[in-house]
Amino acid sequence: MDRLRRVFRLDVASQTRTSVDAEPVITRASVGLRSERGPVLLGVMLSMGLIAIDATILATAVPSVVNDLGGFSQFPWLFSIFLLTQAVTVPIFAKLSDSYGRKPVVLAGIAVFGVASVLCGVAWSMPALIAFRALQGLGAGAIQPTCMTIVGDIYTLQERAKVQGYLASVWAISSVVGPTLGGVFVETLDWRWIFFINIPLAAVAFWMISRRFHEKVERVKHQVDVAGAVLLTLGASLLILGLLEGGVLWSWLTLPGIGVPAAGLVLVVAFGFVERRAAEPILPTWVFRNRLLVSTSIASLAIGAVLIGLTSYVPLYAQNVLGHNALVAGFALAALTLGWPIAASMSGRVYLRIGFRATALLGTLIGLVGVAGLTLLRPTTSIGQVGATCFVIGIGMGFVAAPILVAAQSSVDWSVRGVVTGTSMFARSMGSALGIAVFGAIANAGLGTTVGTHASTASSIAPAVMAAALQNVFLASVVGAAVMLVAVLCMPRRVTTVA
């Protein structure tokens, strides 16, 4: 309990520049913050919980939603549109938090998410529900990077990994609580309550952050990069849309399959040229010249790809190859979300002793061993072995994700910390979209049919055929983990910190 109080205590001192790998003695950055850290952290955790629960609670309610509103062919968009709008707006809101402060951005995000939840709860048709889910994603795009940046602002380097473990535990708990709550609401009340439950959570989070979080932001006139925001939003939207729907909504070798991602790529390239001349670019070009930020972003992209492969195909293997029900398969995957926060909370002690790069390298090697273990799964494998393998992967990911984010945040000052945090999260989102496309294509090639978003088609496939196809997916996950290893090896050995 005393240790927990030390993490939550209010302590605003000064912080000096140092090298973590040389002498890990860090104090707090003077960034004009005067906040009660305990209530602020609880507000941040509630805000993150809104997104985490919403990402899982809807899955168990889909049959009831379709029965009520119709639109069976459109329901995958309930998930895709949320991911899309969240991913493409993260860099924009991250930049706004650097320009105008964290507080107005996160409060606006919570408000938008809360209003969108009410609208989702009263939706009268599937297209309306999809549109309101897009609005929810917009709110999530403001909440997630800003909350992570707030943590980087108010906690010292020593404390930050433990706090990252708390935030990771929010996702771990939500992965179990979300589907359970969804099932309870569907069985006892109505599916609309899966959205109404967000209202009290959003209200409490809004109140705690608005009352207890205070920051001193220099009031200057900013030049909003409108052209960059538009090009990034359109370009990233088309790229992610092409990756998500390629081979699902349309075939790859068709005009939409080629044209949509190609148009997105052209707009992203145009965005790069615009950013070179913008007075206050959303993604400054120096981010792409910084070895630490480039390597950690590539590692985040690989994390996103590997995780989407695990969450999509490990349950499929447990159900359709090993013959377990959805609940058992879910608990096996939950072992990953259990290992992640444990490792993330421990990583602070480790990287203060051996450095960010060495800690991330340790985690990558553990994760690589775990992912390689998936390739050893056979139709006779026990579900316990699957869970143990996922737990090892979670431990590895926790030792990678927390240090690379803390290293990136700590290498810059307050004025650009939001951009750096947003870049890392955007990279992970792009990795997830890329992983969906690549792993889906590999699975489809092995099965000669479409699986993934259309899980109903997988039940008619022979377990031996399914096992062979998913083995290829797990082999591809090993390649993704290897990319993460290379990215971590490219990190500088000595990371100079300013916060």
Q: What is the pLDDT of residues 263-284, one digit of tens each?
A: 889 988 888 888 777 777 777 7
Residue ranges making up the domain that contains 230: 225-279
pLDDT at 207: 92
**Pairing relationship of beta strands 496-497 and 18-19 according to DSSP bridges:** antiparallel
Q: Is the domain of 162 the same as that of 241?
A: no
pLDDT at 204: 92
Q: Is the domain of 133 the same as that of 264?
A: no
Q: Is residue 20 part of a domain?
A: no
Q: Is residue 3 part of a domain?
A: no
pLDDT at 60: 65
Q: Are 49 and 104 in contact (CB under 8 A)?
A: no
Q: What is the pLDDT of residues 59-80, one digit of tens each?
A: 667 777 877 887 666 666 787 7
Q: Is the domain of 234 the same as that of 358?
A: no
CA distance 154 to 168: 18
Domain closes at, from 186, 215, 244: 215
Which pLDDT band, with edges at 50, 70 and 90, does 295 fall under? Answer: very high
Q: Is the domain of 269 the same as that of 366?
A: no
**Which pair of tokens denotes residue 168?**
């990771």
**Which pair of tokens denotes residue 400?**
């990678």
Q: Is the domain of 242 the same as that of 364?
A: no
Q: Is the domain of 364 the same as that of 401?
A: yes
Least confident of 84-98, 160-174, 404-418, 475-489: 160-174
Q: What is the CATH number of the domain that holds 397?
A: 1.20.1250.20
Q: Is the domain of 403 the same as that of 456?
A: yes
Q: Is the domain of 191 the same as that of 236?
A: no
Q: Is the domain of 266 the same as that of 210?
A: no
**Which pair of tokens denotes residue 403?**
């240090």
Q: Is residue 371 part of a domain?
A: yes
- The arithmetic mean of pLDDT across residues 145-174, rounded, is 79
Does residue 433 register a pLDDT over 70? Answer: yes
Q: Is residue 1 part of a domain?
A: no
Q: Are 168 and 48 in contact (CB under 8 A)?
A: no
Q: What is the pLDDT of residues 80-110, one digit of tens each?
A: 788 888 888 888 888 888 777 888 899 999 9
Number of domains in the chain: 3
Q: What is the pLDDT of residues 176-192, one digit of tens each?
A: 677 677 777 777 778 88
Q: What contacts 19, CB < 8 A, 6 or more positions away?
A: 494, 495, 496, 497
Q: Indicate the pTM of the whole model.
A: 0.78
Residue carrying structure tokens 């909440």: 143
Question: In whole angstroms, what separates CA 415 from the centre of its chain?
Answer: 23
